[in-house]
Chain A
Amino acid sequence: MPEAKFRIQRYDPDRTPPTWHDEFTVLYEASLTVLEGLFHIQEHLDGSLSFRYCCRAAVCGSCAMYINGRYRLACQTNVRHLAAGVISVEPLPHMPLVKDLVCDMGDFFAKYEDVKPWLIRNSQTPEKEIPQSPKERAKLDMPIDCILCGACYSSCPSVWGDKDYLGPAALLSCYRFEVDSRDEARKERLPLFDNENGAYRCHTITNCIEACPKELNPTEGVQWLKGAAVRRRILGRWK
């Protein structure tokens, strides 16, 4: 049977020192994802190991981690596809830790909520659907695939330097409603991203693009918002 060696960053606020590393060896048959490896360790080797999980199919965003120095979803990462040798597993860097691989996502979700991520309409809503052409709908394809895993946020140097910066995921969500043909809140939305903690804090470092396990492009959305802010506030173009 092949074996996978994991080197896992541990954290327990009740221990001194609170951070350390543990190594575990997991035997497997045909295939093993990092998430399956973590479950094996939790079940058979060390019951105190903590990590987030839910769908194990790359759609819920629970298990974003830093694996062998890259942002990945543990469920989507097969050990066969990693370089030979010990597999390093760490929580999302630059995030406050809760326990082991679980970090505090409170600020991340609070910023998502701050951008008013819901459709806003001023005109009367029709009885049936609000019409939207396939071309208009296609503008949403990229941003709506975000799974809020936090990898981009964790990877962004502007977030590291300014804890109030909204960050790539929240701004991508803002962009998602800005480019929705059904949304009618351009005036209301502008101040949400046109401020010192908003789109301008993005210095196009593009770590977020590399970090995103869904291969999305948050930077593109943020650049669009910068352009929209300039067009509206300076040129007075609201359409």
Chain B
Amino acid sequence: MIRHELIVVGGGLAGMRAAIEAKKKGIDVAVLSQVHPARSHSGAAQGGINAALANNPESHDDTPEKHAFDTVKGSDYLADQDAAFAMTTDAVPAIYEMEHWGCPFSRYDDGRIAQRPFGGAGYPRTCYGADKTGHYLLRTMVEQGYRHEVTMYIEQFVTALIVADGVCRGVVAYDMLNGGFEAFVGEAVIMATGGAGRTYSNTTNSLISTGGGMAMAYHAGVPIKDMEFVQFHPTGLLTTNILMTEGARGEGGYLINDLGERFMANYAPKAMELAPRDITSRSIQTEINEGRGIGGKEYVYLDLRHLGAQKIQERLPGIRDLAIHFEGVDPVYEPIPIVPSQHYSMGGIDTDADGKTEMPGFYAAGECACVSVHGANRLGGNSLLETIVFGRRAGAAAAEFIKGGGAKPVADVQHAADEAVKAVKSRVEQLATGGGGEDPYAIRAEMTTTMKDHFGVFRDEPTMAAGVAKLRALKERVRHIKLRHTGSVFNLDMIRTTELEGMVDLALAVAVGALQRKESRGSHARTDCPTRDDAAWLKHTMAYYEPDGPRLDYKPVTLGMFEPQERKY
């Protein structure tokens, strides 16, 4: 058993920021990460991070209030408005802090941080470092982790929470490099493990974005919120779904159909290509469904050619490299074939604006959490922001909790830890020798295809009901999966088999929540219920884990600043 005061799971932007904050407050903190923190999925973010710095000449009167309004409107009014305002207010000092820590943002001639336009924003307020903003922020954050001497346990695959008398006291982790399971115990745990994009076959996300943290919380009885809201990024590369940043359109890129038209004129005449992602993805999907995909096929073009080689090389060099290496297309000379692709989980572990959950001692931040600031549709540039703002807040809140003596009375942690490790080991043992014959990779493939085909950009009752039935059948089969390899060191078969159960449970929470919500709001677009219904559905979906599928409940949305209105762009 390894002891630290605070255990942070996940070494990406949110987790590392949380750890640094706790460390600054004198807490003995350890970060556990499945990959080296510098390899986290945060680093794949490209286009930028929003803050009302008012540096762009066109945004001189920008304010956190206006940023909050855009965020809330973008969320189709499902965001909690106090939390959204807290995020946009914290945004400004958070960006300056990252800059002071060395983040290499792109600059204006006068030396200030440059800002570009992004979808759904009234002002150009997206700070960026070329098209590698996530990579630069992540490196800066990890380097600050070194500087603040945060203890890091690297290549630790966390599999379960340790809960004693209803209080979260730690986690069980598989030591990938050395083999074996170990209990990491403390006064509190912060979960920062990212999204669940890999429950879809057509995702932009990293291969490790399997929703592990969400699933562990869910299994331990913590509700997950608004899971049916899944963002589809308008521009994933056709063959790999690798992200082509919204910044490409922020810099002036066009979306083109088979007729050579900038079709966004028919959907968002004012914002054009910079409409919010839900609207842009639906527009692309409509063009495809109506036969105006390129050559009648299932993609359209992202055209950057008119920007010229110099601007592409200066502002979008990463996009160019990715298009060349992964699609065989050089955007300087050819349009890029793109398709809407799963990109972000708006839903996640239910938290308040300080990362607190219903379970004492258990906090969450970043994409695995749902505060909610993104509601039914996240704006581009707000996810990097969320990680550093709510990572800091969760770190501070957990530190206060620990300094205040943690949860009382203190239960027998040793016993709870031993039991948790034993449970994980016996589950692995049972997977290997229990006589199950199901192939975990076949189930994984069926699940991800089901999510793509039944819970995509457009949804309707019969399609979703069929999808729920498929997922329920998969959930039954998951009980009988077979672990084939039992080696101790770097056992991918064990990692990928054990994480599957949680993935199917999360997929089912998305599916059941979507089937129940009889309206269209943000990313949840039902052709059979095409309008938003505030009277019935202006509320958060709460999913509680039950062995035979999620139990749903609802809770009100915090309004107060902006009256819900129709979204027009």
Contact = CB atoms under 8 A, between A and B. Distances in A.
A121 interface: yes
Given A43-B441, A129-B96, A137-B104, A144 B111 contact: no
B43 interface: yes
B44 A59 contact: yes
B99 interface: yes
A131 B109 CA distance: 10
Nearest to B147: A118
B63 interface: no
A54 B489 contact: no
A118 B146 CA distance: 8
A180 B489 CA distance: 41
B487 A14 contact: yes
B196 to A, nearest CB: 16
A132 B107 contact: yes
Nearest to A180: B102
6 contacts: A48-B491, A50-B490, A54-B206, A60-B41, A98-B489, A118-B101
Given A119-B100, A134-B108, A60 B487 contact: no
A28 B243 CA distance: 23
Contact of B35 (A62, A100, A177): A62
B489 to A, nearest CB: 5
B39 A61 contact: yes
A145 interface: yes
Contacts of B112: 128-129, 131
A102 B490 contact: yes
Q: Max chain A CB contacts within 10 Å: which of B96, B207, B242, B326? A: B207
B489 A144 contact: no
Interface size class of A (residues with CB under 8 A): 35 or more
Interface residues of B, number: 60
B14 interface: no
Nearest to A73: B325
A55 interface: yes
Contact of B144 (A62, A118, A130): A118
A93 interface: no
B487 A12 contact: yes
A56 interface: yes
Interface of B: 35-36, 38-41, 43-44, 53, 95-96, 99-102, 104-113, 129, 132, 135-136, 139-140, 143-144, 146-147, 154, 177, 206-208, 239-240, 242-243, 318, 321-322, 325-326, 441, 484-485, 487-493, 496
A182 B101 CA distance: 10
B490 A144 contact: no
Given A118-B146, A119-B102, A76 B325 contact: yes
A61 B38 contact: yes
A173 B512 CA distance: 48
A57 interface: yes
A160 interface: no
Contact of A55 (B41, B106, B487, B493): B41
Contacts of B107: 132-134, 136-137
A60 B104 CA distance: 18
Contacts of A54: 35, 39-41, 206-208
Contacts of A136: 107
A145 B206 contact: no
Nearest to A113: B146
B109 A59 contact: no
B371 to A, nearest CB: 25
Nearest to A31: B239
A133 B109 contact: yes
Nearest to A131: B111
Nearest to B39: A60
Nearest to A12: B487
Given A99-B490, A137-B107, A118 B39 contact: no
A55 B441 contact: no
B100 A121 contact: yes
Contact of A60 (B35, B140, B240): B35
B35 A48 contact: no
